[in-house]
Each structure stands twice: as structure tokens, then as C-alpha cells.
Structure 1
């Protein structure tokens, strides 16, 4: 038996994993198409032929499903293409902002989950988002340092602080945009980009 064959899920477990992924894909599409309010658990279940009660077989709670959807959205966003001739941390920031502006339902989901994570009794969500922000800051800080070494970003800026500022600007602009669509997320991130140029 090959190593590949040993790693492949088989039997009922494989079907469960496949079904769970199908639910996540349906949820991502519904959030993108119908927005936060239109992507209820019932609507997600109907999209894949699973009852609301049946959803608990794959996700123990609504929170678990929504956190899994958020993680899947993060993975999908990582695959978002950036023009190869301008593959810098600054161009990736703008591309990410443009992408986010096209999926208001996922922005609403993200904002709701982050806000809920700071409430008492939500230790699991808080831990997940604390780790997510730490990983994101670390990743962005590394990219900033590389950009500084190549002369694309001002060298007098502390990379870690820049990373925190980028996350804050992106999330803050997204939240303002949800409340008032006249707020231009991309314009705001482009201004931040200009302030970072040498």
C-alpha cells in the first residue's frame, strides 16, 4: 500500500469530511451571494440537503460552523491572485481590500464573530481570534521586513507596529463600510500604502 493510499480518508469518515466541506462551500457561497442575514443555518442546510438538526452531526454548534466558515474564507482569500509584476506586501494589501469589498456577507460574519469573541463566556472564540491576529501580525510583519530590505517600504517604520496598523485599518474601514457604504475601503488602504512608501 502506498503512503498516499494510507493517508486517504476511507469509509464513513471520508464521507463525513466530504459532507462537512460541502457545507462550508455552500455557506461561503451564500454569505457572498445573500449577505450575512441571508445565510441562515436553515438556508445553508437547504443548499446541501441537510436539515437544521442534521447540521449538528457535522458542527456541534452555530458558533463552530461560523468559525469554520471564517477559517475557510481565510484559506480562500490566500489564493486570491495578485499581479505577478507587482507582488509586494503593499499590493497584496490593496488586492485584499478590493476582494473584501466584494463579499459584504463575509465581512459582516467576521465582524460579528470578532465582536462576540470579547463577550464573557466565549473563551473558545476569543482564543481563536487572538491566535488569528497574532499569526496575521507575524505574517505581515515578515512581509514588511522583506519589503523594507528591497526598498519598497520606509525602513524607519517598526515592522510589527506597521503590521498592527494594517490589520486595524483594514478591519476598521470594513466596519465603517458596513455601516455606511460610502466609506471607500480601497481608497483608505491605498492611502496607508502611500504613507509607507520610501
Structure 2
């Protein structure tokens, strides 16, 4: 019975953390970074300010946890498409396609880029958390690109690290533009991006 109680407490802890992270993303997306106080987040999640403080210690701790969580959510979505089992070029293009298709689906994406913009503008310590998140994306893309080069689908002369950074920067630029102008035609940008990347990355026929 004690073990069942401990499991229940762990489940409650997980649920409260999930609700606090979701509330943080919601508050940031709807009201801006400065509005994400422990009071506002606690109210949105249905908890007290004290629980948010207890869970994350500080606002920076909370935001760092949110950044990591948003990245994990993105990776979980991508994992369902088994990109690592597809040919390299196809996997890279599918990664870009999925990213741009789902960019505007939830407040989480908007919150992420609002926080990113704020951390760069303020030269805050949160930049390190975003750097870690972006390095994880780069590592995934480098792996896909190198596999494509080994399989013959991607240009062998490309520097994989630079190519991955180029793809990631394209996605980052589109995301920031979407943040500035939520009415931007993401579908048209997605199609153009895929066509451009295919021309830039694909190995010439017969090579």
C-alpha cells in the first residue's frame, strides 16, 4: 500500500509539473515574457505561487525547464515519423516539412521563440539554455546529413556541420518571422524551403 501511495504521489508531482510548464507557455504566449510571474503561472495552472517556487526554485529555473520541455515535445513528435530509418535526404526534408507544418499548432512554439527573442535582447543567462537546445537540433541534423552522404543521396562535398547549421538557421528565421507576423503564409514558405533545400543538398544524378 505504501508503494501504491508513493506512486500516486509521484504521479501527482508529475501532473503538477506538467500543468505548471503548460501554464508558463500559455502565459508567455498570450501575455508576454514579463507577465510570466509565479503568481500568474500559479493561477493559470490552478496552484499557488509557492508550488511553482518549490518545483523550480526561481523564474530562471522554471524557464530553463520549459525550454528543455518544449524541445523534448518537438523531438517526441518527430520520433513518431522514424526519421532515423529513412534515407538521409528524405529524412532531412521530412524534418523541415514536419517542423514547418506544425509551427503554429500550439502556444508552446510561440512561447519558445518569444523567450528566445527576449533572452537575446536582454543578453540574459537563458541564452545558454537555448544554445543547448539548438545544439541538440544541430546534432540531429548532422546525423541525418552524414547518413545521406554515406548513402549517396546528399552531396558528399558538403560540410555536414555547416549544412546542419544552415538548415537550422532557415527554420529559426522562419519561426521568428512567424512570431513577428503570425499571418505569414507558412505553407508557401514550407514548399519553397523544401524545393530550395532539395536543390542545394541533393547529390547530382548519376553520382
**TM-score range for the pair, normalised by the shorter chain length:** 0.7 to 0.9
TM-superposed deviation, 1:89: 2.4
Q: Which runs of 5+ in 2 are unaligned?
A: none
1:70 matched to 2:72? The reply is no
Distance 1:186 1:36, change over 3 A: farther
Asked if 1 retains the 8 angstrom alpha-carbon contact of 2:93 and 2:197, the reply is: yes
TM-superposed deviation, 1:57: 1.8
Q: In the alignment, what sits opposite 2:133?
A: 132
Q: In the alignment, what sits opposite 2:195?
A: 191
Report 1:117-156 matches (<5 A): 117-118=119-120, 122-123=124-125, 125-156=126-157
1:24 matched to 2:21? The reply is yes
TM-superposed deviation, 1:10: 6.6
Paired residue total: 186
**Secondary structure of 1:155 counterpart:** coil
TM-superposed deviation, 1:95: 0.9
Asked if 1 retains the 8 angstrom alpha-carbon contact of 2:68 and 2:133, the reply is: no
Deviations for 1:91-120, whole angstroms, at most 9, x for unmatched residues? 1221122122323x3333222322333356
TM-superposed deviation, 1:174: 1.0
Mapped partners of 1:188, 1:67: distance in 2: 33
Q: In the alignment, what sits opposite 1:55?
A: 52
Report 1:101-180 matches (<5 A): 101-103=104-106, 105-118=107-120, 122-123=124-125, 125-180=126-181
TM-score after normalising by structure 2? 0.71
TM-score after normalising by structure 1? 0.74
Deviations for 1:115-141, whole angstroms, at most 9, x for unmatched residues? 333356623x12222222223222211
Distance 1:121 1:189, change over 3 A: closer
Mapped partners of 2:184, 2:141: distance in 1: 28
